[in-house]
Structure 1
Amino acid sequence: MTTISEVMTKGVQVIPPDASLQRAAQLMDELNVGALPVCDGKSLVGMITDRDITVRATAAGLEPATHSVKEVMTETTRWCTEDQTTDEVMKQMGDVQIRRLPVLNDRHEVVGIVSLGDLALRQSGHTDELLRDVSWPSEPERPDANAAAHFTG
């Protein structure tokens, strides 16, 4: 079985919650990514995405230079561990319809990120099923919604 540590992107850049939205957007642009784990020291406290900045901040008229990441980040962040299998993580991503997960080590420090793309490129089989599950329009309409297992990790 393949573990997440074998397919994840390592050396992920994180951002502190008190950083400006402008800095988060600049960092995403520099790194060519759409999401950043938000860490207070070494502890994961949330995620911020380009969509958070656009939908939550810009739509609300927040000035990117004067408002912080913590104001629009997603606090209830799903995550996985580096020793979980790719099958477990693909199921988790499909069940909760997310495209990327921070990867934590046994000390709960961010050591990487795994995306739908990482799994599609490096994991054979079931990625078409994962893409369908992640992309399904809404939870009540999903054919397997009642069987979905929700992880707190």
Structure 2
Amino acid sequence: MLVRERMKPAVFLEPDETLATAARKLRKDNIGCLPVCQDGRLLGMITDRDIAMRGVADNRDPNHMRVRDAMSVDAICCLKEDSVEEAATLMRQAHVQRLAVVNADRHLVGIISMSDLEGGGSERRPFEVIFYKEVLGHAGLPHHSELMRVSVAQGTKDEAVQAAIGQFEEARHVTNWTTAADGYDVVSIHAGESGESLESLELTSERDAEIRPRARVLWEQAGAPKGQDVQFWEKAARGVDSESKAAK
């Protein structure tokens, strides 16, 4: 069976729409991401996390910030002539639940989700564990740079985190996930009073909350240089970790 036989019409955004408009569309359709297109051609994808981390967390006004400034340009997509097996494999490898479907000219023709391939059921998993590196943006404000998103179908939150850590370590070829990531967030999916799917984002890293203001101070003391975000974050992290060890 081909993707074109299972895909659905795609709701999409244009790059000059605001983040506020994007957030409303995501909420209206109860989904976590939307393709971004101009003149029908796929430019990228924007997720609820992009809006939170590149917009809200950076104190940007969602009524003025544009989708093009927050979207990811390396959108994962498939062709409508691909087999559903190929689409499912791509989703599993990329740890995503939805793919934009394009034609040979990269024009958007539809969207396909894991639930479309599985014949129904819940599109989102009960838990998603999102591993990230913490970096400072051009204004010295920190944000999470997503490394990998792992969906876990069942179990408690702790069980989901442990399962996700195992997948992350295997994918990154490391024996301890902390050597490759600074932290992780957990998205839990649960049913609302009317049966609708609701998501809750839990920011799990208390360490980040201590590092963030220190990194900002170091950046300001150095004269707010560009291109050294990681260095300031790592220097602040070493200070926090050193004090933590001394306290123990």
Q: What TM-score comes out, normalization by structure 1 length?
A: 0.77
Q: Which residue of 2 aligns with 1:7?
A: 6
- Bigger RCO (CA 8 Å, 6+ sep): 1
CA RMSD of aligned residues (A): 2.5
Higher strand share: 2
Q: Which residue of 2 aligns with 1:30?
A: 28
Percentage of identical aligned residues: 33
Q: Which residue of 1 aligns with 2:83?
A: 85
Distance, in Å, in 1 between the alignment partners of 2:51 and 2:172 is 32
SS of 1:9's equivalent in the other structure is coil
Structure 2 unmatched ranges of 5 or more: 121-148, 152-163, 174-248
**Number of matched pairs:** 134
SS of 1:39's equivalent in the other structure is strand
The 5 A counterparts of 1:43-58 are 43-58=41-56
Distance, in Å, in 1 between the alignment partners of 2:172 and 2:62 is 40
Q: What TM-score comes out, normalization by structure 2 length?
A: 0.49
Distance, in Å, in 1 between the alignment partners of 2:111 and 2:89 is 16
Distance, in Å, in 2 between the alignment partners of 1:143 and 1:120 is 28
Offset, 1:86 = 0.9
CA contact (8 A) 1:93 1:134 kept: no
Runs of 4+ with >4 A deviation: none
Q: Which residue of 2 aligns with 1:150?
A: none
Q: 1:89 to 1:17 in 2, by over 3 A?
A: same
Q: Which residue of 1 aligns with 2:113?
A: 115
Structure 1 unmatched ranges of 5 or more: 123-132, 145-153
Q: Which residue of 1 aligns with 2:190?
A: none
Distance, in Å, in 2 between the alignment partners of 1:9 and 1:105 is 14
